[in-house]
Amino acid sequence: MNEQADQLIQEIGNILKIEASNIDPNWVNAYARIQFMEGATKDTYSYIANDEEQRYFFPENDFELEDLFSSLRKATDAWKVCLVSLTSESNINIDFEYQDESRWSAI
């Protein structure tokens, strides 16, 4: 991972944290999954609160997040799917899938 990619990941994490906190102050984990297909993108956002039920949401900063993911894709290898996992303690994890477009589709 390069410095530009690290900065983009931190920006994505910060926006995801703000979005989840605005929706439910009791969130524990938040997820952002974006899939790049030819001519289109598909993004999914969800969080888990204390009751451990997964809920989906549409971020207010959706276009900004898509731009960040596009920049991240250019700064790294051309992955097909990216999954960002964030805890309420700001621990961030990012995974990339390079072949299977359906990876993490349950998120």
Task: Please name the amino acid found at residue 32.
Answer: A
**Boundaries of every domain in the chain:** 3-97
3-97 CATH: 3.30.500.20
Residue-wise DSSP of the chain: --HHHHHHHHHHHHHHHHHHHHH-TTEEEEEEEEEEETTEEEEEEEEEETT--EEEE--TTHHHHHHHHHHHHHHS---SEEEEEEETT--EEEEEESS-TTTTTT-
The tens-digit pLDDT sequence of the chain (107 residues) is 678 888 888 888 888 999 899 999 999 999 999 888 777 788 888 999 987 888 888 888 777 777 878 888 887 778 889 899 999 999 999 998 998 988 988 76
Q: Which residues pair with 34 in a beta bridge?
A: 43, 82
pTM for the model: 0.83
